[in-house]
Amino acid sequence: MTSSATSRAISSISGTTINIISSSSSSSHRYSSSMGWIRPTTLSVANTPNWAPSFISRTHRSRLVLIPRATSSSPDTGKKPNKRTRIRTKSNKKKPPQNQTQTQDQTQQQTSPSTSTSTSVVAQEEQQKQQLRLDLEDVNPVGLGRRSRQLFDEVWRKFSGLGQISSTSRADQREALDALLVREGPMCEFAIPGAQNTTVLVIGPTSRIGRIVVRKLMLRGYSVKALVRKADEQVVDMLPRSVEVVVGDVGDPSTLMAAVEGCNKIIYCATARSAITGDLFRVDHRGVYNVTKAFQDYNNKLAQLRAGKSSKSKLLLAKFKSQDSLVGWEARQGTYFQDVVASKYDGGMDAKFEFTASGEAVFSGYVFTRGGYVELTKRLSLPLGRTLDRYEGLVLSVGGNGRSYILILEAGPLADTSQSKLYFARISTKVGFCRVRVPFSSFRPVKPEDPPLDPFLIHTLTIRFEPRRQKPVEGPAAMKQDPRSFKLILEYIKALPTGQETDFILVSCTGSGLEPTRREQVLKAKRAGEDSLRRSGLGYTIIRPGPLKEEPGGQRALIFDQGNRISQGISCADVADICVKALLDSTARNKSFDVCYEYVAEQGKELYELVAHLPDKANNYLTPALSVLEKNT
Amino acid sequence: MACRLPTQLATPGKLHHPHHAKTSTCHGTLSWRRTLAPDAFLSSTQSSSTTLSGCSYKRPLVTCTAQTNVGAVNLAPGTPVRSTSILVVGATGTLGRQIVRRALDEGYDVRCLVRPRPAPADFLRDWGATVVNADLSKPETIPATLVGIHTVIDCATGRPEEPIKTVDWEGKVALIQCAKAMGIKKFLFFSIHNCDKHPEVPLMEIKYCTEKFLQESGLNHIVIRLCGFMQGLIGQYAVPILEEKSVWGTDAPTRIAYMDTQDIARLTFIALRNENLNEKLLTFAGPRAWTTQEVITLCERLAGQDANVTTVPVSILRFTRQLTRLFEWTNDVADRLAFSEVLSSDTVFSSPMAETYNLLGVDGKDIISLEKYLQDYFTNILKKLKDLKAQSKQTDIYF
C-alpha cells in the first residue's frame, strides 16, 4: 500500500518535471506539451474497453478480445487522474478557447491525415457513451470532441507504434527526452560534472585548433567566451551560436578587461598570422603577457572583494615598507670551508640589512673570502591557523643589481630545531625590480638522503648570497661592478596559493616543421610568451604540439615529452582534446610539455620514456601521461 | 488468423498506392532495378524523354555510372576538399544527432542537411555544426549542400507520418546521384539489419534497394546495417512505466539486439577512417538480443514497480495491416504497420560482432549493454525525482 502511494507520488512529480523541461524548450510545442500529459491519464480511465470492441466489431466481426489488462487496472487509478484532467481543461479554457481548439485540431489533422476520417466515426460513438457518465460541466461539445479525438489518437499511436520498425516519439516527449539524454544530462557521453559552472575564454576561436576547442567545450557543457578582433558576420558564423563573442585584441590591454571578466579559465590558441617580427611580438609574446595580466588583475579584484578570503589571495609572509618590518631578520656570514693558505689575502666580507631614507629595505654587502657567503634569515611567523601546505611556492618582489641568490628553507618540528632539514633553490634576479616565483617543488634537500620538502613543516627562510656561479650582468653599467658585491632591495615575500587545476592553457609550438628562416623568430616570440605566462603566477599548462595536421583526432597514439625530441606531427583535433582535458586535470597544472604522434620506427624509440596511449572513449589518457612529467619547467 | 488471404490481397492493394498509381508499369513484386528510376525525381532532373519511356526496367538507371568520368573531370581543377568536411543527412534524428556530436568532437567540420522548418534545429548550431536547409524530397535543393564536402553520412529516414517513398526512396536516389555527380569521396549509408530478407516491409525493401543502388553507382561507400536503438526504448517503455501509464507491447518472439546510438556513432567514425572497409557492408548489433517482453520485465525490475502492460497479439497487428491495405486511403497506415510482418516471424535482429570488433580494432567490452544503459537511466531519473521531491518539500515550508 505504501509503495503504491509513493510510486504514485513519484509519477505525478515525474509528470511535472518533464512538463517543465519541455515547456522551457520551445514555444512552438506549447500546445502539445500542455495537452500531452493529459491523454494518457484519460486513457486509463475505463474508456479503453468502450471503444475497443466497437472498433473491432466495425472493422471485422470476429472473436477478438483486446487489451485485457487495461480494463482490470482502470478502477484502481480511476479517480485521481480524472480530477487532474478536469483541472487541466479548466485552466486551458482561460486562454482564448476557440483559437486554441482549432489549432489543436488542425495540427492533429496534419500529423495524422489518414486516420482522421476513421477517427471521426468511432469518436462519435464514443462520445455518446461518454456523455452518459460525465458531469454537466464536462459536457462541452468542443472539449468532448477534442478529448475523444486525443484519446483515439493516443491509442492509435501506441497501437501503430507496435507495428513500426522505428519508433519516433512525439515532439513534446522528444524534447523532454533530449534534455535528459542528449544535452546536459548525465546520460550524455560528453557531459562533465564541473563544466556547467565554468566559463572558459578562448582566445583565437577561429584558429585551426581554437575552432575545435570551442566545439568541444560546447559539447561538454562549458560556458564559452570567444575573443575575436572583429565581430564580422563571417567570423561569428564560424562560432556556435550560444558562444558569447567579445571583441578585443590581445595586443591592446585596454580591450582585455571586458574579455576576462567572469572567466574561470583561459585557453590561448591564437598565433601570429605572419612571420613579421612586430606581429609575432604583438600576439605571441605581448599578447600572452597582456592576457595573463588582465586575468590576474581580475583575480586580484575578486580576491580584494572577498577581503583576502578568496582561494586566489596570496599569503603575505613579509612586507618591507617600514623600519619595523625589518625586525626579526638577521644578517649572518659564514664560509663553506676554511681556506688556510689564502687566508692572509682574505678581503673579508660584510653585509647589512637596513631601511634606507628612500623607503627601501636593502640587503647589501660584499664577499671577498673564498667560499664565503652572507645570508639574511628569519623565523617565519605565520598568521594563526595558516600553514604553508596550502601554498605551492613563494613569490618575491625584489630589485637590485641582478645577482643570483640561494633560497634556503628550514623544515622540521618547531619544538626541536636540531631535527630541521635544509632545502635550497637557486633564484636569479634582474637588474631593476622583478618578481621571482619559486615553487616549493623546486627546493632540493641539502643532504640528498633527506625526504623532499614538506611545506607544512617550514619554519625558517634564508636568502643567501655567495660569489660563486654569478653570471656576468649584461649592460654597460654592470661591467665595472665586481661580481662579489651585491645589492638586493626587498619589497615583499608572499606565499602562492595552490590551485587544483590549471588557469591558463597556452598552445605554443615546438618549432619543428617551420621554415628555418622564420623558425628562430617564431620560437623566440613563443618562448618569451611562455616565460611571461610562467612568471604570471597563474596555474599554467603549456602545450607545444608538433606540426599541425588537419585530420580527425583520436586515431593515433600520442607522445608526451619534455625536451626537444619531437619529430612527428599531430592533428589539430588531438591538440584541442588535450586542451579541454587539461582544464579539469590537476596533473596538468604548471606543466609544459611537447606532444606529437607516436614515432613509428623502432630505432630511437627508447628515447621516449613517456606514456604513449591511444585516446579512447572513456579513458583519460592525459592524467597518466602528465603525472610523470616534471612541474614548473 | 488466415495468413494466406491477406497476402493475396496485398498485391492488388499496391495498385491503389498513390505512388504506384502514377507508374502504372509497376506490377507484381518490387525489385530494386525497377524502382531505381523513380518518376518524381527523373521528371525534375532528367530529360523528359526518359520519363516517358515505357518500362522503367529497361531504363539506364545507372545514369550515375555514365557520369563517372564527368564527375571526376569536373572536380580536377577545383580546390581539393578537406577530408574533415562532412555532411550529415538526417542530423536531427536519434542517431543523427549523436553522429554530429561525435564528429564535432573528433574535429570534423560538420554540415547538417536539415529540412526547413519553423522551429529550427538550434541545438546543432549550438554544438558548432553548420546547418543548411534542404529537403530530400525536393531534389533541386540538394546539390548546393554538397559543395566542398568530402564525406556524406546518411542517417535519414522519413517520418512515420509521411509517405514512405518520397524521402526514403526518391530523396535517397537523388542524393546518391548528386553525390556521384559532384565527386563526393565517400558515402556512408545506414541500413536496417536483415533488410534483404523482408521485402514485404516497404521500409526495409527500400533500404535494401538503396544499398544496391549505392553499389551500382560506383561511389566509394560503406553500408552499415543497424538493429535497434536503446534510446527508443526509453520513450517506449521506461517513461510510461515510471509514469504508471499503460505500456503497449507485443507477444512477438522477435529478438532485437539494441545498441546505444553513442556507441554506433563511435564505431561509425572508426569505420569511416578505415580505408580497408570501403565498399564493405558492416552490421552493428548490441551484445544481446531482447524480446519486447524481456525489455519490459527488465524495465519493471529496474524501476521497482510493475508496469501496466497491454499485450497486443501480433496477429491483430498483421490483421489490421492487411485490412488497411484494402483501401487506398489507408495505405499509408498499412505501410506503417508493415513491420508486423517481421514481428510475426521468428527473426532475430542480431549478428555476431566479434569479427566487426576485430576489423575496427575495438574492444567489445566498451559497448554498453542494455541492462547497464537502462540501469543508468533509472538511477539517474530516480535520483532526479528524489531531488525534486526534496525541493518541493522545502518550498512547502517556505510558502
Bridge partners, B89 (sequence order): B113, B154
Give me the pLDDT at residue A225, please: 93
- pLDDT for residue B9 is more than 50: no
Residues A507 and A493 reside in one and the same domain: no
Note the pLDDT of residue A4: 43
Rounded Cα–Cα distance for residues A198 and A201 (Å): 10
End-to-end Cα distance, chain A? 66
Query: Mean per-residue pLDDT for A248-262?
Result: 89
Does residue A340 share a domain with residue A468? yes
Residue A65 inside a domain? The answer is: no
* pLDDT at residue B153 is higher than 90: yes
Pick A603 or A205 by higher pLDDT: A205
Quote ipTM for the complex.
Answer: 0.71
Q: Looking at residue B355, what is its pLDDT?
A: 85
Cβ burial of B271 (10 Å; 0-12, 13-18, 19+) is buried
Answer yes or no: is pLDDT of A257 > 80: yes
Structure confidence at residue B344 (pLDDT): 66
Q: Is the pLDDT of residue B385 over 80?
A: no
Of B97, B106, B232, the CB nearest to A167: B232
CA dihedral sign, ordered A244, A248, A249, A255 = negative
pLDDT confidence tier of residue A189, bands split at 50, 70 and 90? low
Q: Given this model, what pLDDT does residue A587 score?
A: 82
Find the CB nearest A28 among B118, B323, B366: B118
Residue of B82, B97, B340 lying closest to A163 (CB–CB): B340
What's the pLDDT score for residue B212?
A: 92
Whether the pLDDT of residue B56 is over 80: the answer is: no
Given a cut of 60, whether residue A209 has pLDDT beyond it is yes
Residue B109, in any domain of the structure:
yes
Residue B189 scores a pLDDT above 90: yes
Q: Do the chains contact at A112 and B317, CB–CB below 8 Å?
A: no
pLDDT score, position B111: 93
CB contact set of A94 (below 8 Å; sequence gap of 6+): none
Query: How many Å is the maximal CA-CA distance in chain B?
Result: 79
Q: B78 - beta bridge partners?
A: none
Please tell me the least confidently modeled range out of A141-150, A337-346, A355-364, B161-170. Answer: A337-346
- CA pair distance B189, B155, nearest whole angstrom: 7
Do A206 and A234 meet the contact criterion of CB atoms below 8 Å apart?
Answer: no
CA separation for the pair A163, A46 (Å, rounded): 24
Domain assignment present for residue A223? The answer is: yes
Residue A617 scores a pLDDT above 60? no
Q: How far is B128 from chain A (nearest CA, A)?
A: 4
The overall pTM is greater than 0.95: no
pLDDT at residue B165 greater than cutoff 50: yes
- Rounded Cα gap, residues A41 and A15, in angstroms: 11
Residue A444 has pLDDT above 60, yes or no: yes
Taking a C-beta distance cutoff of 8 angstroms, is the pair A367, A484 a contact? Answer: yes
Q: Are residues A258 and A346 in the same domain?
A: no
Number of domains in chain B: 1
Count of helix runs (H) and strand runs (E) in chain B: 22, 13
Average pLDDT (B365-389) is 81
Q: Indicate if A510 and A603 belong to the same structural domain.
A: yes
Rounded to whole angstroms, how far apart are CA atoms B304 and B307?
10
| Residue B365: its H or E element | none
pLDDT attached to residue B88: 94
Is the pLDDT score of A5 beyond 90?
no
* B30 assigned to some structural domain: no
A253 within domain boundaries: yes
Number of compact structural domains in chain A: 2
Q: Closest by alpha carbon to B270, among B55, B103, B29?
A: B103
Q: Are residues A623 and A533 in the same domain?
A: yes
The answer on pLDDT for B233 being more than 90 is no
User: Which pLDDT score is estimated for B30?
Assistant: 41
Q: Residue A484: which pLDDT band, with cuts at 50, 70 and 90?
A: confident
Which of residues A4 and B158 earns the better pLDDT score? B158
More confident residue, A181 or B364: B364
Question: DSSP E strands: which ranges in A477-573?
Answer: 485-497, 504-507, 540-545, 548-549, 558-561, 570-571
> What confidence score (pLDDT) does residue B2 get?
36
* Side-chain-facing half-sphere of A393: CA atoms under 13 Å: 23
Least confident of A184-188, A495-499, B29-33: B29-33
Q: Do residues A320 and A424 both lie within one domain? A: yes
Query: What is the C-alpha separation between B123 and B155, in angstroms, rounded?
Result: 18
Of A97-106, A584-593, B280-289, where does the model show the most confidence?
B280-289
Greatest mean pLDDT among A14-28, A423-437, B22-36, B304-318 lies in A423-437
Range of the domain at B145: 80-226
Range in A98-107, A307-316, B132-141 with the lowest mean pLDDT: A98-107
Across all residues in chain A, what is the average pLDDT?
71
**B221 domain residue, yes or no:** yes
Given pLDDT bands bounded at 50, 70 and 90, which one contains residue A79?
very low
Instruction: Render pLDDT for A110-119 as a digit per residue (tens, 0 to 9).
Output: 444 444 444 4
Find the distance separating the first CA and the last CA of chain B, reported in whole Å.
61
**Residue A448, Cβ neighbours under 10 Å: how many?**
6
Residue B17 domain-assigned (yes or no): no
Rounded to an integer, the average pLDDT of B133-152 is 90
Q: Of the ranges A127-141, A150-164, B257-271, which one carries the lowest mean pLDDT score?
A: A127-141
Mark whether A485 and A519 lie in a shared domain.
no
For chain A, say whether B188 makes contact (Cβ under 8 Å): no
Report yes or no on A79 lying in a domain: no
pLDDT band of A176, cuts 50, 70, 90: low
- Domain shared by A298 and A334, yes or no: no
Residue B328 half-sphere exposure, CB side, CA atoms within 13 Å?
7
Mean pLDDT of B337-351: 72
Interface mutation vs chain A, best among B127, B267, B309, B375, most A CBs within 10 Å = B127
Q: Mark B27-44 as b/e (b = at least 16 C-beta within 10 Å).
A: eeebebbbbbbbbbbbee
pLDDT score for A69: 38
Q: Is residue A285 part of a domain?
A: yes
Write down how long chain A is. 633
Identify the pLDDT of residue B336: 63
Chain B contacts of A178, Cβ < 8 Å? 123
For chain A positions 62-101, those within 8 Å of chain B (CB to CB) are: 64, 66-67, 69-70, 73, 77
Question: A165 in a domain, yes or no?
Answer: no
**Three-class SS of residue B247?**
strand
Q: Do A389 and A434 fall within a single domain?
A: yes
pLDDT at residue B363 in the model: 81
B148 belongs to a structural domain: yes
Is A552's Cβ below 8 Å from some Cβ in B? Answer: yes
Of A73 and A182, the one with more pLDDT: A182
How close, in Å, is residue B39 to chain A by CA atoms? Answer: 24
In a domain, A549, yes or no: yes
CB contacts under 8 A, B 232-251 vs A, are 232, 234-236, 239-240, 242-246, 248-250
Same domain, A268 and A353: no
Closest CA to A78 of A48, A104, A112, A51: A48
Higher per-residue pLDDT: A47 or A570: A570
Query: Are A368 and A435 in a shared domain?
Result: yes
**CATH number of the domain that residue A370 is part of:** 2.60.120.430
Instruction: Give me the residue from A9, A173, A183 closest to B235, CB to CB.
Output: A173
CATH classification at residue B162: 3.40.50.720
A255 HSE (CA, 13 A, CB side): 13
Mean pLDDT highest for which of A7-11, A262-266, A321-325, A439-443?
Answer: A262-266
Helices (H), B88-238: 94-105, 122-127, 142-145, 164-165, 172-181, 202-217, 230-233
Final residue before a domain boundary, out of A497, A530, A563: A497
CA separation for the pair A441, B80 (Å, rounded): 51
Q: How far apart are CA B333 and CA A601, in angstroms?
A: 62
CA B111, B116, B117, B118 dihedral sign is: positive
* B363-387 exposure pattern, b = at least 16 Cβ within 10 A, e = fewer: eeeebbbbeebbeebbeebbebbee
Mutation site for A-interface testing, chosen from B112, B245, B254, B386 by largest number of A Cβ within 10 Å: B245
What is the predicted pLDDT for the residue at A96? 43
Give the A window 553-592 contacts with B, CB below 8 Å: 553-555, 571-574, 576
Q: Is the dihedral of CA B367, B373, B379, B380 positive or negative?
A: positive
The per-residue pLDDT for A76 is 39
Range of the domain at A352: 315-474+481-497
Report whether pLDDT(A43) > 50.
no
pLDDT (0 to 100) of residue A608? 46
Number of Cβ atoms within 10 Å of the Cβ of A100: 18
Whether A159 and chain B come into contact, CB under 8 Å, resolves to yes
Classify A428 as helix, strand or coil: strand
Q: Mean pLDDT, to the nearest integer, of A331-336?
A: 82
User: In chain B, what are the helix, strand and coil shares in percent, each to the nearest 5?
Assistant: 55, 15, 30
**B333 touches A115 (CB < 8 A):** yes
Distance CA B137, CA B129 (A): 23
Give the pLDDT of residue B222. 93
- Of B331 and A326, the structure prediction assigns the larger pLDDT to A326
> In this structure, what CATH number is given to the domain that contains residue A231?
3.40.50.720
- Distances from the Cα of A384 to the Cαs of A188, A388, A448, A498, in angstroms? 46, 12, 32, 19
State the pLDDT at residue A28: 38
Is the residue at A579 inside a domain? yes
Question: Which among A604, A598, A522 is positioned nearest to A560, based on CA atoms?
Answer: A598
- Whose cell is 591558463? That residue is A504
Give me the percent of chain B exceeding a pLDDT of 90.
14
Residue A458's pLDDT is what?
87
Check pLDDT > 90 for residue B288: no
Query: B108: which chain A residues are within 8 Å (Cβ-Cβ)?
Result: 552
Percent of chain B with pLDDT over 70: 71
Q: Which of A497, A531, A566 is the last residue of a domain?
A: A497
Q: Is the pLDDT of residue B82 over 70?
A: yes
Q: Which of A437-446, A586-595, B37-46 has the lowest mean pLDDT?
A: B37-46
**In this structure, is the dihedral angle defined by the CA atoms of residues B378, B381, B383 and B385, taken in order, positive or negative?**
negative
- Check whether residue A547 and residue A599 sit in a common domain: yes
Cell numbers found for residue B106: 573528433
The pLDDT value recorded for residue B103 is 92
In the predicted structure, residue B242 carries a pLDDT above the cut 50 = yes
**Number of other residues whose CB lies within 10 A of the CB of residue B143:** 17
Residue B22 pLDDT: 37
CB contact at 8 A, A374 and A367? yes
Secondary structure letter of residue B226 according to DSSP:
E
Which residues, numbered 201 to 230 in chain B, qualify as contacts with chain A under a Cβ-Cβ cut-off of 8 Å? 201, 203-204, 229
**Does the CB of A535 have a partner CB in chain B at under 8 Å?**
no
Helix (H) / strand (E) element for A465: namely strand A458-465
How many of the other CB atoms lie within 10 Å of CB of A435?
16
